[in-house]
Amino acid sequence: MSPLLNWKEIDLVVFDVDGTLYDQRRLRLAMLRRLLAATWQTRSLDTLRTLRTFRQVREALGDRPEADFMRLQYARTAAQHHKTEGEVRTLTHEWMERQPLPFLAGCRYPHVDALFAGLRSAGKQIAVFSDYPATDKLAALGLQAAPVVCTTDAEVARLKPDPAGLLAILRRTGVDAPRALMIGDRIDRDGVAASRAGMRVLIRASKPHPDYATFRAYDDPVFQPMLVGFAARVAG
């Protein structure tokens, strides 16, 4: 479905991070090369297998929410790989949060920085709601947003598509849900969460969707009012 959006009706834009602000496939290929190098050095596939299980456990917890997911994501992964929860926490932090940072700038989608600048210039608030801690990722991407909310924050503690994180952002910013827009890359997570929060939504996708507004790139027509308006203000 082609997006029809009146930017005068939008006060707040909330972005997902992974797969939305940067090319996740490109990053994963870069990280796979680094992981394979580490695997060769250790002669063990343990790290690769543990990370794969952790992602699978996270997906399952998103599909079938349970209380205390923040502990369960580590506990269930640990049980499958004969590790402690602390060992899984350390490993996932290293390979999913710290190691990718140097690659992020090179994976950022074109025109994202211009869109952020255009939104800010037009007086729109910019926030982030991510499945994983995003502050360091935003810095690596050269982007700024506030508030930055993660599903693991104490006031949220719910995985997407639960809208708890979006509702927390609305409370912090004081923006009414109908005047907020969520931009993400997954209908089953970002799209559903936004719908449950009463927000508008745009999904980055290669193909149109019958029920959700989609876009392919950040210089698509839907974003032109923000990009052109910013360029005009700078030129003026």
Domains of the chain: 7-22+108-235 (3.40.50.1000), 26-103 (no CATH)
Matching residue, tokens 């003026």 = 236
Mean pLDDT (whole number) for 205-225: 93
Nearest to 15 by CA among 166, 163, 136, 117: 166
Provide the 8-state DSSP code for 132.
Answer: S
What pLDDT band is residue 234 in, cutting at 50, 70 and 90? Answer: low
- The one-letter code for the residue type at 85 is E
Q: What pLDDT band is residue 235 in, cutting at 50, 70 and 90?
A: low
- What the block records as the tokens of 124 is 């729109």
Q: CB neighbours of 236 closer than 8 A, spacing ≥ 6?
A: none
What global pTM score does this model have? 0.91
HSE, CB side, 13 Å, CA atoms: give it for residue 141: 26
The Cα 64–Cα 85 span in angstroms is 21
pLDDT at 230 over 60: no
Whole-number average pLDDT of the chain: 92
User: How would residue 67 be classed by pLDDT, with cut points 50, 70 and 90?
Assistant: confident
pLDDT for the residue 43:
84
Q: Report residue 79 CA to chain centroid gap.
A: 28
- Who wins on pLDDT, 107 or 63? 107
